[in-house]
Chains A and B, each alone.
Chain A
């Protein structure tokens, strides 16, 4: 008996904001809150406001909860979340109206924090707001907080909350938050529905809305058997349908990541394959040229932001692309002059010597740049192409795929449509004979090495889009890219592309079945078995060119 009485009382309290009398008391409490005569008065005022749940006070309560309550000329204001470049903030009044403050000429008023008086509300007082935080956070400026608030309200059922939720949804501008919000609304309505038809309508709405949480929600509803067996089965069927669609999209996503990984591998392995085919050099330092490309990108960014003073620009990245090609290529050319030149057609020796070179390069990078740096992704490539709510293809990955397609195209044109390419292919086939025919094999070799290293540098520049720049970043890719070369067949453009993409796909697909590590082991076993049938790779040399 007692509990039902209490519940009735609670209901009355919740309905209070509907009466205009609440508005007046809100003004009183707000005043008490800002100029308390004693700490206990403030505590009480916040407590009362938390119980009253008047929408007009939400901005104020939110400011308290976020510790962003300030006084300007004795009026409560709050600040924008991001400061301007001069460190000043836009200001908003809080109660009774929540508006942007402007100066006399109608421009937004910008003030530094020092011009405002901070109002400190003790933690114990703020904790009183925890219960209604989801409610006022529905109006937060941060979409993520709004999403969280929506999902927190999913299990409430009182009509006051529902009306606030609807009001918030009407103003909702962010797509993700809107989806979560609708989800919450339909969920509340679903559990309230008393007829099979309205329940089914809400189930349909949830399925159409298709938030991340929808299958779980529907399954929960089905399991509870809330209304009757029919709706439960209907919900379960809808949930299964959603999961199936999600799985299909997931498959597309895997396909895409496989393509992306594959194109990175192709980008790295391309230079490696050309160099190995031409000169019989196993360049273990190839990964380090990639690292050099990445650091070149980093340096370009530093030069643009620090030296030239252009902070908000995407230009640096497009400058960095040719720069990293040239810098890595030039260093590769130097390496060829100093070391590689003496090791032609001695693959095992070259493997050890270039490993030494890679140690030196890694340590140099570590001494110069420290252990961890990151390149800021250009604005243009941030975000992704939202094909459907559950399938987003990141622009940076799309860019990498496009870049590697371009690079492959140019490499093809270079190899098969230019005089240099003809010479490279000829030296690859038979060094001595080419020399006899008047090709300067050494010159061709050093140009090839320049191009090969440059391509690695380009790959490094592209990889800054998806990862950190660390001194030993090359090592993570080097074994994989060698596998690509080995599987594709030495010095074969088509083989490299095919095996690069193939290994990329297989890795991602096996990762979706096993864990990442076992996926890798699986790939390796697969390659070893493949080599049983094709010991010289996908496209082996035939006839007289093939060595012993």
Chain B
């Protein structure tokens, strides 16, 4: 079996080792798939409403923000529900992945201590599980786009690209957090606070053009701002994101993924004995 020749020959930090790792993950695709199926089954077993539950939280928030923006803050945004959802659903993908990644190692510690498998399988399958949920809620968004008679354009071909890049971006962070959580169990509290701050620093509940011009460039250092802008252009304005934006997203996603992977591979071997 090829897996076994690979499993003991990982030298972190080289290009070769990186490629070896990717190959290794592919040999374990069955496990990833089964972990995702397990999570979906456990989550939706016995609930007829299924996907509705994943939508409930964004829908309730949508209600709250709609009231707040219409009657309290009084910012007029065209089609506010769609505007909000186009930013909030990708945001939920991020927060769900990050906040559960700090538990994924501890939750599977009996497995980790008892059997060898590439440890990154756990965070990776967690991100993919959240991706599936994200796509399901996205389907609902498409129905809403029809209802609001927003035109669909050629720009939709960019959607898979942006979703893919966001998945890379999230995977990178998740790899770092899951390996850190082995050493610092209280990191989850930090993450909650951090995600709250990040949410308000990202133009999800408000339009980007409301940000004062002076600090706009600062906001653009926030990759989630870039993602939200891209999603909105594609979905709401039927506009293809410009090449600069896509280039930035590429750099962010691959940069975060690679450094996340590098960090993870440095700590992977110690996970079993520290958890």
A joins B in a complex: no
Enumerate chain A interface residues (CB-CB to B < 8 A). none
